[in-house]
Amino acid sequence: MSEPLADFLARAAAGLSPDPPGPDDPTSNPRGDHSLDPDGTAVIPPPPHRRAAVLVPVVPRADGPTLILTMRAANLRDHSGQVALPGGKIDPSDPGPADAALREAYEEIGLPPEAVRFLGYLDPYLSGTGFLVTPVIGLVDPGAVLTPNPDEVADVFEVPLPFLMDPERYRLRSRAWQGRERWFYALTFGERLIWGVTAGILNNLRERLYPEAAPGDADRAAR
């Protein structure tokens, strides 16, 4: 096992939650982009929140761990063309968030559930549209062959994990949304912009596993 992978797995064992957060968990009042509002005037979507789960797929490559991200298809009704993590709504038939995340990852990018080793959960993240998203961290077999569903995914790509765990990559940005100023984290990888819920979840992964580094501040925001 390489040193970078061993370091990541040790951090994951120490920093991730083994059990999913429940409705009575302290995180039932979860973080979200609303937490980033410097004036504290952001509107928090009221409960009941719709439950969702995403897979945060980490791949142990020879040059170091990478993380799989997708580009959503342009024809989708919600968040078309945006960078995302594989995932979606938790169905009543799903035993739990991990099962939902694995099912969605298989439907979206053809990732076999048996190719994923469960590592733990991050804090739930509340989207501006009222979805309470539970991130599931998994270690993906590097030999797994992905087959993206073109109806849902336009592209699948990998980003080096150290790139995403670098706090200097994250910038606090804002834009007008439904008559209010919405604040969110954003970072760029090549020509791709990673922002919103996806960037918020990745920043939470950084906070959990690499707390020795401080995040970018609003005064460094890209304008």
Asked whether the predicted pLDDT for residue 74 surpasses 60, the reply is: no
Q: What is the band of 37 on the pLDDT scale with cuts at 50, 70, 90?
A: confident
Nearest of 167, 183, 171 to residue 220 by alpha carbon: 171
When the pLDDT of each residue in the chain is averaged and rounded to a whole number, the result is 87
34 or 170: which leads in pLDDT: 170
Q: Mean pLDDT across the stretch 102-129?
A: 95
Q: At a CB cut-off of 8 Å and minimum separation 6, what does 8 contact?
A: 58, 65, 161, 209
Q: What is the band of 75 on the pLDDT scale with cuts at 50, 70, 90?
A: low
Over pLDDT 70: what percentage of the chain?
Answer: 86
Tokens, residue 62: 């020879």
CA distances from 159 to 19, 126, 140, 155 (A): 27, 24, 14, 13
In the three-class reduction of DSSP (H, G, I as helix; E, B as strand; rest coil), residue 90 is classed as coil
Asked whether the predicted pLDDT for residue 216 surpasses 90, the reply is: no
Dist CA 197 CA 205 (whole Å): 12
Quote the pLDDT of residue 30: 76
